[in-house]
Chain A
Amino acid sequence: MYSAVISLITIFGVIIAALSVSAGLIWLERRLLALWQDRYGPNRVGPFGLLQVLADMIKILSKEDWVPPFADAAVFVVAPAAIIVPVLLTFAIITYAPGIAVADLNIGLLFFLAMSSLAVYGVVLAGWASDSKYSLLGSMRAAAQMLSYEVFMSLSLMGVVMLAGSFDLKNIVEAQKGLWYVVPQFSGMLIFLTAGIAETRRLPFDLPEAEGELVAGFHAEYSGMKFALFFVEEYLGITLISVLICVLFFGGWQGPLLPPLAWLAIKTLFFICFFILLRATFPRPRYDQLMSFGWKVMLPLALLNLVVTGGIVLATR
Chain B
Amino acid sequence: MDVTFYISAAVAVVATLAVITRYNAVHALLYLIVSLLAVSLIFFILGAPFAAALEAIIYAGAIMVLFIFVIMILNLGPQAARVERIWLKPRTWLGPAALALILAGELIYILISGGEQEPKAGTAVVGANEVGIALFGPYLLGVELASLLLLAGLVGAYHLGRRSGSEGSDSPGSGRPNGEKV
- A: which residues have CB within 8 A of B? 72, 74-75, 78, 105-107, 110-111, 113-118, 120-121, 124-125, 127-128, 136, 139-140, 143-144, 147, 150, 154, 167, 286, 288-289, 291-292
Contact = CB atoms under 8 A, between A and B. Distances in A.
Nearest to A151: B62
Given A114-B56, A286-B173, 14 more contacts: A106-B49, A107-B128, A113-B57, A116-B61, A121-B33, A121-B65, A124-B68, A125-B26, A125-B68, A128-B72, A140-B69, A143-B68, A144-B69, A150-B62
Nearest to A114: B56
Contacts of B69: 124, 140, 143-144
Interface residues of B, number: 27
A114 B49 contact: no
A113 B57 CA distance: 7
A110 B127 CA distance: 12
B45 interface: no
Given A107-B49, A136-B72, A289-B173, A75 B62 contact: no
Nearest to B44: A107
B66 A106 contact: no
Contacts of B60: 114, 117-118
Q: Among the interface residues A74, A114, A288, A289, which one has the most CB atoms of the partner chain B within 10 A? A: A114
**Which among A110, A113, A154 has the highest number of chain B CB atoms within 10 Å?**
A110
A110 B128 contact: yes
B26 A117 contact: no
Interface string B8-38: 0000000000000000101100100100010
Contacts of B83: none
Contact of A128 (B40, B68, B127, B128): B68
B112 to A, nearest CB: 34
Given A118-B61, A136-B72, A167-B128, A113 B53 contact: yes
B56 A125 contact: no
A107 B50 contact: yes
Contacts of B52: 107
Given A75-B26, A75-B27, A107-B128, A114 B53 contact: yes
A140 B73 contact: yes
B62 to A, nearest CB: 6
